[in-house]
Structure 1
Amino acid sequence: QVAISSQAWKFVKNFNDEFKKYLTINYNGDGCVIIESGKIPDNVFNIEKKNSRNNSVKKEPNFDKDLYNKWRYYVNVSALHKMESGVSNLVEFNELRKVTTVFVRLTQIKFNNKEDLQIAQEALSAVQRILAVQEGTLRQFLYDDKGAVILLYFGIPPYSHNNDALNGIESALQICSNLKRILDDFTIGVGTGMTWVGGIGNKIRSDYSVVGDSVNMAARLMMKAKKGTIYCDETTYSLSRDSVQFEDIGLMEVKGKANSIKVYQPIKLKSRITDERVPGNTEDDIELIGREKEISIIKRELIEYDRNGNNKTIIVEGDEGLGLIPLEDKLINESKKLKFNI
């Protein structure tokens, strides 16, 4: 059954006659209209039957390119990614992914004056700037019984990283720092776990969504967090504790969980130089084996900078586990010897 207010009924009551014969419509004494439907054939909605033999064939996008360029900025980036690859029905494509969810609650915004709208715009812009760097996805900005809420995801297409939990925590810390310049009252919740990611709806209308216990957990932690703080679950903590300093909040009861859960508060990122170096080494006694070529390039670039004074950008990149951090430390130490700012 569907209950519709009498005001809304005025706008939707003129059903197609072919469609109306499958409905039972009753006028409720409380001012509502109750609609109950029987089995409605697909052809009433003009839905084409799916041809399973062609499921694996990639299709070219069937939308007008000029129109697409106008509305692409208003479409969820994950859905857009699928559409650009030729997917015409989002519901057919779904997957299980480990995703980190971040909820940001702007508690003091009530949208009852012009200033609130300006603050909300500044807050959202601050979040978007961080997402552009961290490659997260802005899913929603909404206002409901929880207040003004921003919903973010890390790890959904087209973005994915080795450690999206760490990306989520780093972003949350940066968001926390930025928001303190804009407003006083906000809270952030972070949760990580396996989620169902894909289209919800039907071929005519669908939405790209993320569903899972960790999404609900992030929302619960957002509501539990103290003013101006971030709370995260144990999974997020376990995946990011090597790079982030946390405070153990202890056990906490949350809605939807029979047992209390462990909650942590991220405080700040650890310094990679001081926290990740092998104990006993000092800045001047780092010995790198098999990195003679890279060290030679670093020294050459620094000497050239010393001579010419032109700014330099040196990028150290490679797969995880190849010893990039010691090489970065070497670059920093060599720069300090020459009294360069880095």
Structure 2
Amino acid sequence: VSYTAVEGEPLLDAPPGFHRLAGLDTTLHTYPTVKFAALECTREDERVRRILPDTELLGLSERFIPRSVLKHLRSGNSSSINEMRSVTIIFAQIGGVDVSTDEGARVAQQLMKGMQRSCYHHEGNLNKFMVDDKGVVFLFVFGLPPLMHVDDPTRAIASCWEMVDV
């Protein structure tokens, strides 16, 4: 820590060499260094242009890219490529659904519609839907761009209460 400390005036009633802490050298501190590196990587220069796909490739892959990311890529804006943010995640597992049968597939479809409806009602995002031998699993995310709110955890809980009724 001593190499990041900026010494202030000497302490009069302390042993020699003790100083008041005037601050921390933010150029040596971890978080600003990471933040600086992220900002450096998002500058509109040749390095950034190389990672942005061409229009034809973007057209082929657009159904696999979230709409909010696609919007930024199409506009040439790469400011959020290195973005770090806090999000709220919900895992929901529903057992006893066998999607290999007609009835199970119908139940899974009804579950999907109901779960999506409650998630989207609170401006969340259905990130994944998986099927395994134990049933179906949903992964919901609240707080992804462009639907970011300060109350995303509260929205996620409200969505869960609605999902219980599905």
Q: Which bin holds the TM-score, normalised by the shorter protein? A: 0.5 to 0.7
Give 2:156's aligned residue.
168
Q: How far is the alpha carbon of 1:84 from its aligned partner? A: 3.2
Which structure carries more relative contact order (alpha carbon 8 Å, separation 6+)? 2
State how 1:95-244 maps to structure 2 within 5 Å: 95-144=83-132, 146-177=134-165, 179=166
Matches of 1:167 and 1:142, distance apart in 2: 23
Matches of 1:143 and 1:105, distance apart in 2: 10
Contact 1:139 1:152 in 2 (8 A): yes
| Aligned pair partner of 1:75 in 61, 65, 81 | 65
Contact 1:72 1:80 in 2 (8 A): yes
Inter-CA distance 82–108: structure 2 relative to 1 (3 Å threshold): farther
Inter-CA distance 163–55: structure 2 relative to 1 (3 Å threshold): closer
Question: Which one-letter code corresponds to 1:80 in the other structure?
Answer: L
Q: Which moved more, 1:99-108 or 1:56-65?
A: 56-65
Quote the RMSD (CA, aligned, Å).
3.3
Inter-CA distance 108–64: structure 2 relative to 1 (3 Å threshold): same
Question: Which one-letter code corresponds to 2:54 in the other structure?
Answer: N
Q: How far is the alpha carbon of 1:100 from its aligned partner? A: 0.8
1:84 aligns to 2:71 (yes or no): no
Give 1:64's aligned residue.
56
The structure having more radius of gyration, on CA atoms, is: 1
Inter-CA distance 129–72: structure 2 relative to 1 (3 Å threshold): farther
| Aligned pair partner of 2:81 in 66, 85, 93 | 93
TM norm structure 2: 0.59
Corresponding residue pairs, total:
123
Percent of pairs with identical residues: 30
Structure 2 unpaired stretches of 5+:
1-39
Matches of 1:73 and 1:129, distance apart in 2: 20
Q: How far is the alpha carbon of 1:160 from its aligned partner? A: 0.4
Contact 1:61 1:86 in 2 (8 A): no
Question: Which one-letter code corresponds to 1:83 in the other structure?
Answer: L
